[in-house]
Amino acid sequence: MAYTATIEEESKELKRLYKDLLKGTYQELSKEDIKSIRKAFDIAVEAHKDQRRKSGEPYIYHPIAVAKIVADEIGLGAISIIAALLHDVVEDTNYTVEDIEQLFGETVARIVNGLTKISHLKKDDASIQAENYRKMLLTLHDDVRVILIKIADRYHNMQTLDAMPVEKQARIASETLFIYAPLAHRLGLYSIKTELEDLGLKYTEAEVYYDIARHIKETKEQRDKYIAEFSSVIQQSLEKEEFDFEIQGRTKSIFSIRKKMLTQGVIFDEVYDKFAIRIIYKPQSKDEKHDAWKIYSIVTDHFSPNPMRLRDWMTRPKSTGYEALHTTVMGPNGKWVEVQIRSNRMHEIAEKGYAAHYRYKHGSGKETGLDDWLNKLKDALKTTEADAVDFMENIKLNLYSKEIYIFTPNGEIKSLPKGSSPIDFAFAVHTEVGHHCRGAKVNGKIVPLSRELKSGDQVEIITSNSQKPKLAWLDYAVTSRARSKIKNSLKEEQKSIGEEGKEILRRKLRSLKIKYNNTTINDLVSYFKLKTSLDLFYRIGNGSLSNTELKKFANRQSRSFYSIFRSKSRSDKSESFVGKDEVSQKFDLLVFGKDEENLPYTNSKCCNPIPGDQVFGFTTINEGLKVHRKDCPNAVNLRANYRYRILSAKWIDSTQREFKVNIMVSGVDDVGIINNVTLVISNTMNVNIERINIDTEAGYFEGHVRVSIKNIDQLNRLINNLKSIEGVTKVEREKKSK
């Protein structure tokens, strides 16, 4: 419907909107606050007077709507309301950040400046977009209100998205599902999160959205009748106990119903817990928990609970600050009903999130879950990742994932994302514990470090000063903290191995009668198709470049024409290889998933990936596995809407791939010999022991060891080193696994 209001009608509407803005504030406003808000309102109206939205309505309606969301639904105070009113002024008009600071102070100016920077983000390129989102999240260092106002801004844009062109609708909606809905969820803005998800689905999968909406509408009368019948039974009992309460019937969101349909493989009618009520009570005593459990007891006196669906978020609130008691009971006619029990304080925190959380926390002097999460996020943001899209995927995982609660040996509780491993727990305890993690006990039993932890597990980390992070840990580390610490450690180890490799290469070249100098190093880098000298040293140090390959190089060097006709310009140019501070890779193999499988695939035509590109796999319906670059124009949309069809992928250097080999070692059983065997293996060119089994009997021992090696030269060196141990009589490679 076209916008047709007159100037007089718009003037009246502005007055109404201003009154409504002040009337709906969550925080109490002083006379000085109201005066400053009026001043910001007038400046915003004047600044945007000649601007119109796509719908035709005055642009000023948008910042006022954002301020209303900030004041009422998010519950922030005067500073945030002023910043929301002015959030587009610097970007769209002649006002500067300095002007804002002079008029409203440094805090408002800083928030407006942060919002202006976010507005300048480019949207077309996925990798640029992800990098810019990282920069956006960095504003948390300055003021989390920047993010909260930006969420309000996006929320209103989604509410008015109908006026935008179709292609922009899809992009903005995908972007919303990709980052803004998870952020709203993590900051406790559940109502806004739900609306963002539903609106995101509306513009990305319209047919699905309207089909579910139609089903909900058609069943509304029946559902309301059922909820009223269910609630009346509980209501009578609560009134007898003289509770001051309110019962709200609620329908699951369209997005959550769609999610259940996908994950459970069912149709709309088969989603079993579409019915839900919320009991909001005013505590009878100082003990809110006692009252909540009393209400729970009343509910379960009438209806049988599902013991697997009890969630006590009061004893251990979510890291968003959310508190409540959830249960699912069997209602009349065999229908499951979810019951949420909250005090009015808990309800405020659930609805307002961050703002209410801090309002009730004020003066307690106690750090809560939300503070802890914000600190973890800030810590993650400090780490520079090579791939911003991967960074955003990790952040999103930590934003949106369900939480599990793990106990330390001393009974302290650590909150981790669902899917976390002992490695994640180790780094959550302390960085040094993570770095030196050698093994883990879960509930008293030693388990693999890849074990997925479950809520309630008690975990003890076994450490060793000689242990260092391994590349394989990245396959089962989930948290951004653990992953960033592992990657940093691996880079340091690469440099260390590179230094060793440099000395090894010096000795090997001497034995081959080749001078060790910059020209030779550059020739080696070029010959092996590498990019940096450190890359060369690292490969020598870890054994992936063998003696045989160096001899081939030496034979080529000995040919006189190679030295005579080598271009001087090429030699000069190659000097740039020496001393670079990074390890590069020659990419010749694409592998998929955690197990690094070599699967058949085709390259997508939309982005034409080549070896070395950051890529992911996408399982199509008719064309098998397609590979896309992570900065593909379609990347954000595919990841936001079809995550279940995404397969991680990466290009690797096949010479760096490790192979599993079984070795049999036997000899005279003597004191310390088994320890000597394991030490020799560990000290041979960074060989890792995968499995070891040693039996002893009557002075004789026999061991079967499974190791990870890179090539035959490394294996032969290991076998020779083992044979040199006093007491070892036989070492051989086994043909079959033991």
Q: What pLDDT digit, counting tens, does each position of 505-539 carry?
A: 888 888 888 888 888 888 888 888 777 888 888 88
Q: Mean pLDDT, to the nearest integer, of 423-441?
A: 92
Distance CA 249, CA 223 (A): 9
User: Which one is catalytic: 10, 57, 72, 91?
Assistant: 91
What is the average pLDDT across 105-123? 78
Give the pLDDT mean for 125-144: 60
Q: Is 379 a catalytic residue?
A: no
Active-site option among 10, 13, 72, 92: 92
639: helix, strand or coil:
helix
pLDDT band at 300 (very low <50, low <70, confident <90, very high): very high
Structure tokens given for 479? 């948290």
Q: Which amino acid is at 404?
A: I
Tens of pLDDT, residues 620-663: 888 889 999 887 877 767 876 677 788 888 887 765 667 778 89
User: pLDDT value at position 427?
Assistant: 93
Average pLDDT along the chain: 81
* Terminal-residue alpha carbon distance, the chain: 75
Residue 631 annotated among the catalytic residues of the structure: no
**Strand pairing report for 615-619 and 625-629:** antiparallel
For every residue of 516-556, DSSP letters joined together read -SHHHHHHHHHHTT-S-HHHHHHHHHTT-S-HHHHHHHHHH
What residues have CB less than 8 Å from 371, skipping those under 6 apart?
none
29-38, 164-173, 681-690 — most confident range: 29-38
Given this model, what pLDDT does residue 51 score?
87
d(CA 113, CA 116): 5
Q: What angle do CA 184, 189, 192 make, to 5 degrees?
A: 80
pLDDT, average across residues 560-579? 43
Q: Which residues pair with 441 in a beta bridge?
A: 446, 460
Tens digits of per-residue pLDDT, 358-411? 666 554 444 455 566 566 666 655 554 445 555 555 565 555 567 788 888 887
What does the buried/exposed string (b/e) look like for 623-640 if buried means 16 or more CB atoms within 10 Å of the residue's CB?
eebbbbbbbbeebbbbbb
pLDDT band at residue 213, thresholds of 50, 70 and 90?
A: very high
Q: Specify which of 94-103, 126-135, 573-582, 685-694 reaches the highest per-range mean pLDDT.
A: 94-103
The pLDDT tens digits of the residues spanning 75-101 come to 888 999 999 999 999 888 888 889 999
540 token code pair: 């020598």
Domains and CATH numbers, the chain: 7-189 (1.10.3210.10), 214-352 (3.30.460.10), 487-577 (no CATH), 589-654 (no CATH), 658-733 (3.30.70.260)
Taking the C-alpha atoms of residue 643 and residue 400, their distance in angstroms, rounded to an integer, is: 13
pTM beyond cutoff 0.95:
no
Residue with tokens 């977009």: 129
